[in-house]
């Protein structure tokens, strides 16, 4: 198992979900699903089916159809073996990590899953090296060895106590070597994994049909035989489908108005339940350093001085989210309120002074980009409010542009957007994961952010520490650097809401520490 003595100590729980509406009587999770698959709705459709290409919401699907060496059994906040039987650092410096696979593992097509398949899966991520892709998670990895059929050894160039958490992300999904080229992405729209489910069929942007993978060997105890995931463009269509009985669960993308409505009606007028939990999902703005205006620190600082996060949280999201003043959210060791500490309440005079001292006396022209089909129905309203705030200051002239997610990703990876909105859910529950992915030559944003003090000093030092309480000062310093640069502007931190039919159980325990739904936890109540 993961070596608890050298492993990361338990950090603050990310998901603490409690059902607001509970049923009564005798429940059973041994459902044969005679009524057909449980249908789950979301507004977060995959951008790809190949793990080597994705550092985004595609992980929602990956967690259920692929397998990783380590993962998170229900309630765990530290990685535990899944495809592996045991894993541990074998040295005192956290630089050599060894895993031994379970016996007799196979992929869903019957091909053998051995150490060579694991090595192939990890090596191809680095070799293909998709811009903004998961190769950025493997910055400390030097090489992978497969000395025997069941043994995999990871050699790190620098100490990295967080490496087990990296291996537990869906980006490190184990793929079948015959179907996934070593130097190119798989593009036939098919999936061969070893996870709890097989992908029976997939229609891009519409649905994914999952059925029990009878060859699966891992920790997941499946409480259903099949799940269909339907992808919706907005919350309104998703909630209508829930109320009409066309779906039984929603797990991402509920609009604030729908949350408020369900809170009032779920227990009174409708046969529905609403599950609420804490979360560390965040929203933020990204500034392109190559843009003539967004690339100027004084412009970014003036924007930071004008933005009213509390107004966004209240007017647009009806207080279902909280204002955020740091890239590291509340609930994690190292969280600060740096943007509030430095800028205080929104102030147009202060912003005007920042620009004037930089010799900027005209209205600054900016184009802000957002995606239409990834982060929920309020995104357009949110950017409308940001435009209103900036233009009301009479310091900025704002144009809004948008694209669907797939073309949106391609645009920011090519550096096309001066300013653009992004969301982030944690890869693993540690403050590092709200700093490291955004800095360096290659990062999750596709926009280089070179910060030598963070990448060369603070992060390497923090990775030598297994006790994460000892790295709080390093994370606080990293956040202050990011506040000073204002290259990333945090806006708000979200909560988790899952709406479900009253006859569905398991939603309250279905989220892993990255707030990804483990579909196998869902089941129908068979008696009352």
Is the CB of residue 180 less than 8 Å from the CB of residue 50? yes
Rounded-to-integer distance, Cα 387 and Cα 396, Å: 9
pTM of the full structure = 0.78
Rounded-to-integer distance, Cα 57 and Cα 44, Å: 6
Q: What is the maximal distance between C-alpha atoms in the chain?
A: 72
Is the CB of residue 210 less than 8 Å from the CB of residue 199? yes
Look up residue 291 and give its two tokens. 């843009």
Residue 277 has what pLDDT?
Answer: 76
Expressed in angstroms, the distance from the first to the final Cα of the chain is 39
Rounded-to-integer distance, Cα 70 and Cα 17, Å: 23
Look at the chain and count its residues. 528
Per-position DSSP letters for 114-163, written without gaps between them = -HHHHHHHHHHHHHH--TTSGGGGGTTEEEEEEEETTEEEEEESS--TTH
C-beta atoms surrounding 483 within 10 Å: 25
Per-position DSSP letters for 274-322, written without gaps between them = EEEE----EEEEEE-TTSTTTTSHHHHHHHHHH--HHHIIIIITTTSEE
Is the CB of residue 51 less than 8 Å from the CB of residue 174? no
Rounded-to-integer distance, Cα 321 and Cα 239, Å: 19
Residue 268 has what pLDDT?
Answer: 59
Q: Using one digit for the tens of pLDDT, what is the confidence trace for 292-334?
A: 999 999 999 999 999 999 999 999 999 999 999 999 999 888 8
Look up residue 202 and give its two tokens. 């997939």
Mean pLDDT computed over 132-149? 93
* % of the chain at pLDDT higher than 90: 74
Average pLDDT, the chain: 89
Query: In degrees rounded to 5, what are phi and psi of residue 405?
Result: -55, -50
Q: Using one digit for the tens of pLDDT, what is the confidence trace for 184-197?
A: 999 999 999 999 99
Place of tokens 């989210």: 321
Three-state SS for 403? strand
Mean pLDDT computed over 350-375? 96
Among 457, 469, 451, 313, CA closest to 382: 313
Among 88, 94, 69, 111, CA closest to 3: 88
Is the CB of residue 409 less than 8 Å from the CB of residue 47? yes
Alpha-helical segments (H) within 393-490: 405-413, 452, 459-463, 472-485
Query: In degrees rounded to 5, what are phi and psi of residue 84?
Result: -85, 150
Highest mean pLDDT among 86-90, 269-273, 470-474: 86-90
Q: Is the pLDDT of residue 234 over 80?
A: yes
What are the Cα distances from residue 152, in Å, to 89, 129, 158, 179, 351?
A: 12, 21, 18, 21, 54
Of 22-31, 151-160, 174-183, minimum mean pLDDT range: 22-31
Q: Using one digit for the tens of pLDDT, what is the confidence trace for 105-139?
A: 999 999 999 999 999 999 999 999 998 889 989 98
Residue 56 has what pLDDT?
Answer: 84
Q: Which residues pair with 275 in a beta bridge?
A: 19, 498
Mean pLDDT computed over 227-243? 95
Rounded-to-integer distance, Cα 516 and Cα 511, Å: 5
Residue 12 has what pLDDT?
Answer: 28
CB-based contacts of 237, cutoff 8 Å, min separation 6: none
């Amino acid at each position: 198992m993961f070596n608890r003595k050298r492993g990361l100590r338990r950090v603050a729980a990310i998901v603490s979900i409690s059902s607001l509406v509970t049923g009564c009587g005798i429940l059973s999770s041994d459902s044969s699903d005679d009524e057909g698959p449980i249908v789950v709705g979301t507004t977060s459709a995959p951008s790809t089916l190949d793990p080597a290409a994705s550092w985004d919401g595609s992980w929602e699907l990956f967690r259920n159809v692929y397998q990783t060496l380590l993962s998170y059994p229900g309630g765990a906040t530290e990685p535990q073996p899944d495809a592996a039987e045991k894993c541990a650092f074998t040295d005192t410096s956290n630089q050599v990590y060894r895993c031994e696979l379970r016996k007799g593992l196979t992929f869903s097509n019957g091909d053998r899953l051995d150490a060579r398949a694991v090595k192939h899966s990890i090596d191809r991520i680095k070799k293909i090296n998709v811009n903004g892709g998961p190769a950025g998670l493997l910055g400390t990895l030097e090489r992978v060895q497969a000395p025997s059929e069941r043994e995999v050894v990871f050699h790190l160039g620098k100490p990295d106590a967080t490496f087990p958490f990296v291996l537990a992300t869906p980006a490190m999904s184990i793929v079948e070597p015959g179907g996934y080229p070593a130097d190119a992405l798989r593009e036939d729209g098919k999936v061969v994994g070893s996870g709890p489910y097989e992908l029976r069929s997939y229609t891009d942007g519409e649905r994914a049909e999952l059925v029990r993978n009878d060859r699966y060997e891992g920790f997941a105890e499946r409480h259903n035989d099949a799940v269909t995931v339907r992808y919706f463009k907005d919350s309104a269509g998703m909630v209508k489908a829930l109320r009409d009985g066309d779906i039984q669960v929603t797990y991402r993308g509920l609009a604030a108005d729908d949350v408020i409505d369900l809170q009032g009606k779920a227990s009174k007028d409708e046969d529905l339940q609403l599950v609420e939990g804490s979360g560390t999902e965040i929203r933020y703005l990204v500034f392109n350093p190559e843009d003539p205006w967004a690339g100027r620190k004084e412009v970014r600082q003036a924007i930071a001085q004008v933005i009213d996060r509390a107004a966004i949280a209240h007017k647009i999201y009806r207080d279902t989210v909280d204002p955020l003043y740091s890239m590291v959210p509340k609930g994690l060791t190292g969280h600060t309120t740096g943007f509030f500490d430095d800028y205080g309440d929104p102030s147009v005079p202060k912003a005007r002074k920042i620009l004037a001292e930089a010799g900027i006396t005209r209205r600054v022209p900016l184009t802000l980009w957002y995606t239409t089909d990834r982060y929920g129905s309020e995104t357009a309203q949110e950017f409308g409010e940001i435009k209103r705030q900036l233009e009301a200051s009479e310091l900025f002239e704002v144009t809004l542009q948008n694209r669907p997610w797939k073309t949106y990703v391609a645009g920011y990876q090519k550096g096309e957007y001066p300013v653009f909105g992004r969301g982030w859910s944690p890869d693993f529950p540690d403050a590092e994961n709200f700093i490291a992915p955004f800095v360096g030559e290659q990062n999750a944003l596709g926009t280089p952010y070179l910060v030598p003090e963070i990448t060369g000093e603070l992060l390497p030092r923090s990775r030598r520490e297994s006790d994460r309480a000892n790295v709080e000062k390093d994370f606080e310093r990293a956040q202050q650097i990011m506040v000073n640069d204002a290259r990333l502007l945090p806006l708000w931190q979200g909560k988790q809401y899952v709406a479900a039919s009253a006859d569905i159980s398991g939603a309250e325990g279905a989220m892993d520490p990255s707030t990804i739904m483990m579909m196998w936890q869902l089941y129908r109540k068979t008696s009352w």
